Amino acid sequence: MKNSSPIKHAAVLGAGVMGAQLSGLFANKGIKTYLFDISIELATSGKDRLKILKPAPLENPKNIDLIIPCCYDTDIEKIIEADWILEAVAENLDIKLKVYDMLLPFLKDSAILTTNTSGITLKELSQNFSLEIKNRFMVTHFFNPPRYMRLLELVKDEETSPKTYNIISEFGNDVLGKGIVPAKDTPNFIGNRVGVFGLMSTINIAMKMGMNIETVDALTGALCGRPKSATFRTADVIGLEVLKNVAMTTYQKSKHDESIEKFNIPEAMELLIEKGNLGQKTGAGFYKKDVNGNILVLDLDNKNYRPIEKIKLGLDNEIIQHGAIDQRINALIALDSINGDFFWEVLSEMLLYSANRIPEISDTTENIDNAMKWGFGWEIGPFEIWDMIGFSSSVTRMKSDNKTIPKWIEEMISKEKRGFYLKN
C-alpha cells in the first residue's frame, strides 16, 4: 500500500498490551515505528508479545521487523524522526505529563502528538503545553484489539488546528481503515460513556430484579444484535477492575449525569475484585471453570459458583433461530414475563441515556450509533433500535413507566416525527 500521507514514521510511547498492538497497527501499513518504554527489555517484551497475542495483531509476521524497541533514557532523540507520536502509557495523568516533558524537546515542528487515553480530558493533558504544541495535539482513542476494532474516536478542542485533525482523520480512515467518530472532550468520550453505561446499568438492573447471570447474557447477547459475550461475560473479558476504573471515571467526573448512580459498582462485583477474581485473565469472574473444565456461574444471591441452569426465555424458537433483528428485539420487549420486563427496562434506559447525551458528548445520533457498532460490536445502534421498535409508541410506553423523556425527544413527538432516520 502506497502511503501518500505526511505520516511516514511513527513512535508509540508505552509498550504495554495496547501500545504494542498500536505499533503493530502502524507496522501492518509499512510504517517504521519506534516502540518506547522505560527500558529496552520492556519495549522488546512488548514487541515480542505481538508474536503470541490472540487474535493476531500482525497481518504478516514479517511486519514485526518494522518495530524498533527503544528506551526513553537512551533513545529519546529518535522522536525527531517521527511524524506521529502516539502516547499510550498508563492511564495516569502524572505519568503522562512526565512523558510529555521528556519528549517535547525532541518533537520536530511538523510532528503530531496524540494520546490514546480513554478517560483523561484533552485540557488536563495539555495543561503544560505551549499554544504551538496544543495546535498539534489531540486524542486518538483506539479500541482493543486495534487491528480488528473499527472505531477510532477523535477528540480535538479549540486549540487543535484543523490541519492536525484532518491529517489524523484522513490517515485513520484511508491508511488504517478505521471508522472515524468525532467526540467531545468529555469523560470516556462516546463509546465508553454509552457502552459502559449499558454494561453497568444492565448489571445493576439484573441484581435489582433478581435475574440470574446466564439468563441476562442470553437476553443481552446475539439475540438482540450484540456480541455473544453479552453483559457479564463481556465484563469478564474486559477485566472487572478495568471496567470499574472506566465506570468510576464517569462517576467521579460527570456528577451532572442524570443516571450517574447506574455507574456504581455493585457489591457482588466489588467482592470479586477484592478476591482477585478479575475475569477471564485470572480464570474467574462472573464465570469460571472448575477443575474438570465445566463452566460455572456466580450466584448473585449467595455469591457462590454453581452450574449454569437451563435457560427458558419464552420466545418462539423460530424467532430465535431465524428471526431478523427487528423481529427478535420486538419479540423480546413484547414478552409478558420477567424476562420481557427486564429486557424492556434495560433497553429503554439505554435509549433514554443515549438521548440525554446529545449534545453533551455528540451533536448527532449517527456518531453515537457508529461508536456502539464499531467499538462495542453492536449490530445496530441505539437510535436505529429506537426507530425499529416504533419511536412514538415506545415513548408512550416509557411515559407510562414514569420515565423522564428528554426535551428534544418530546419536541420530535410533538412534530409527529416518525423517528431519527425514517422519512415522514
Q: What is the DSSP string of 182-236?
A: EE-SSTTTTHHHHHHHHHHHHHHHHHHHT--HHHHHHHSSGGGTS-TTTTHHHHH
Instruction: Strands of 248-348 (E only): list them.
Output: 287-289, 295-298, 305-307
120: nearest Cα among 143, 95, 101 = 95
251: nearest Cα among 119, 97, 406 = 119
Residue the block writes with cell 492536525: 164
Q: Under 8 Å CB-to-CB from 319, ≥6 apart: which residues?
A: 327, 328, 331
Burial 4-25 (b: 16+ CB within 10 A, else e): ebebebbbbbbbbbbbbbbbbb
Alpha-carbon distances of 209 from 204, 301, 340, 371, rounded to whole Å: 9, 12, 12, 29
Q: How much of the chain is in helix, strand and coil states, percent to nearest 5?
A: 50, 10, 40
Q: What is the distance, to the nearest Å, from the Cα of residue 271 to the centroid of all Cα atoms in its chain?
A: 24
Position 3 scores a pLDDT of 55
Position 59 scores a pLDDT of 97
- Tally of CA atoms within 13 A in the half-sphere of 78 that contains its CB: 18
d(CA 279, CA 343): 24
Task: Write out the chain's pLDDT in tens, 424 residues.
Answer: 455 789 999 999 999 999 999 999 999 999 999 999 999 999 999 999 999 999 999 999 999 999 999 999 999 999 999 999 999 999 999 999 999 999 999 999 999 999 999 878 899 999 999 999 999 999 999 999 999 999 999 999 999 999 999 999 999 999 999 999 999 999 999 999 999 999 999 999 999 999 999 999 999 999 999 999 999 999 999 999 999 999 999 999 998 999 999 999 999 999 999 999 999 999 999 999 998 889 999 999 999 999 999 999 999 989 999 999 999 999 999 999 999 999 999 999 999 999 999 999 999 999 999 999 999 999 999 999 999 999 999 999 999 999 999 999 999 999 999 999 988 7
Q: Please give the helix or strand (H or E) that residue 340 lies within, else none.
A: helix 338-356
d(CA 97, CA 95): 5
What pTM value is reported for the model?
0.94
Decide: residue 166, CB within 10 A, 0-12 exposed, 13-18 middle, 19+ buried.
Answer: exposed
d(CA 307, CA 310): 10
Position 39 scores a pLDDT of 97
d(CA 42, CA 393): 56
Helices and strands, counts by H and E, the chain: 19, 11
Residue the block writes with cell 478542542: 157
Position 2 scores a pLDDT of 53
Sheet with 32-37, edge to edge strand ranges:
67-71, 32-37, 9-13, 84-87, 112-115, 137-142, 151-155, 179-183
| DSSP result, 277-300 | --BGGGTBSSEEE-TTS-EEEE-T
| C-alpha grid cell, residue 230 | 453479552
* Cα Dmax for the chain: 67
Sheet with 305-307, edge to edge strand ranges:
287-289, 295-298, 305-307
Q: What is the CA angle 146-147-153, rounded to 5? A: 40
Position 1 scores a pLDDT of 45
140: nearest Cα among 85, 95, 193 = 85
Q: Please give the helix or strand (H or E) that residue 86 lies within, else none.
A: strand 84-87
Domains observed in the chain:
9-183 (3.40.50.720), 191-414 (1.10.1040.50)
249: nearest Cα among 107, 410, 141, 166 = 141
Position 5 scores a pLDDT of 81
